[in-house]
Structure 1
Amino acid sequence: MTTIEAPTTGRYRIEPSETTISFATRHFFGLAPVRGTFALREGVVHVAEPVAASMVRVTVDARRFDTGHTVRDDNVRSPRFLDAARCPDITFVANGVADGQVARGTLTVRGRTEPLDVRIDEVRAFGDRLHIRASAEVDRYAWGITAMKGMTGRRLRFTLSAVATRDLGEA
């Protein structure tokens, strides 16, 4: 069930310490589940009137990819997959919200930018703070990340749980 509460217009800073970006995929020819997280470096939400004109910008730290399996994590951060040493930032930018529920934007991974729709599953306002839940499915092949076809999941399902604080200086 989607719960969207209309927040107060303005600029909100997403709190990295109160944000979780988790993912699920499969590996070993689709037989075994893999779950993990990415760390948010920074993010901002501009709530506009009308809401359709709102924007989001998020930067994720590719170097902080974590599944709890050191060998796999080092491999994914390597040039074979994320190339995190050369391209440490993964960015999502959306300059509009369709039907109040889909942030239409672009995702940049390893310097390659492709369209991505992020479904807004929940927005709850608590004074000057927002709690946001969103989700997306990413086909890594669209970003040219094709190593280990068959052995490693092609699609990743992402879930974002974030808290954002309104910048009162931008009211």
Structure 2
Amino acid sequence: MDATGNTAATTPRLGRYTIDTDKSSISFKSRHLFGLLPVHGTFAIRGGTVEVAEPIFESSVQAEVDAASFRTGHAQRDAAVRSVTFLDTDRHPLITFASDRVDTTTVSGTLTTCGRSRPASLSIVHSEVLADAFTVRATTRVDRTAFGVTAARGMAGRHLDLTLEIRCVRI
């Protein structure tokens, strides 16, 4: 209930939404140097859409991430990760996600990175619904080796723990 005694909406209004790239972010945590040191960074969302349907499991999510936007604040590491050794962003400029199942706690679908597609599941940990917009925070863990990114075993962390903060605005 809100301050006026009204029950707040728990799902967005039906319809099509666009991802507000200026108010959305993807951050990650990993480890390097044989798991001894933490690494934090970000990716930029290029765009995407969300179709909210009834029933909710008929909803869909499409998103594109700019692979070359990988940033950790360490220029040499960032350039190496964007290179052919890891993400090969010249050949694979986009990381994409397309849902195949949506419910109130999970968005499952296909994540494509470096030309390889694998199942991925995002756990919704927070949502806020407004009249013509909504924000969702979701988390997931990605195993980079499942996408063929296998360089620097031991030196570079195998898993990235992602947190997505996505703001969607009704079209």
TM-score normalized by structure 2?
Answer: 0.93
Match 1:140 to one of 144, 150, 158 = 144
What residue is the counterpart of 2:153 in the other structure? 149
Match 2:20 to one of 15, 24, 27 = 15
| Superposed structure 1 runs of 4+ greater than 3 Å apart | none
Match 1:109 to one of 94, 109, 113 = 113
3-state DSSP of counterpart to 1:142 = helix
What residue is the counterpart of 2:90 in the other structure? 85
Match 1:71 to one of 72, 76, 88 = 76
Quote the Cα distance in structure 2 between the aligned partners of 1:7 and 1:122. Answer: 13
Shift of 1:102: 1.1
Shift of 1:43: 1.2
3-state DSSP of counterpart to 1:17 = helix
Quote the Cα distance in structure 1 between the aligned partners of 2:10 and 2:43. Answer: 27
The answer on 1:48 being equivalent to 2:65 is no
What residue is the counterpart of 1:30 in the other structure? 35
Match 2:101 to one of 93, 96, 101 = 96
Shift of 1:120: 1.4
* Matched residues, number: 163
Quote the Cα distance in structure 2 between the aligned partners of 1:48 and 1:79. Answer: 40
Match 1:166 to one of 150, 167, 170 = 170
**Residues 88-140 of structure 1: per-residue CA shift (max 9 Å, x gap):** 00001102214x21111010001110111111112211110101111110011
What residue is the counterpart of 2:122 in the other structure? 118
Shift of 1:66: 0.4
Quote the Cα distance in structure 1 between the aligned partners of 2:150 and 2:73. Answer: 22
Identity of aligned residues (%): 46
Stretches of structure 1 lacking an aligned partner (at least 5 in a row): none
3-state DSSP of counterpart to 2:153 = coil
**CA RMSD, Structure 1 to Structure 2 (Å):** 1.0
3-state DSSP of counterpart to 1:29 = coil
Stretches of structure 2 lacking an aligned partner (at least 5 in a row): 1-8
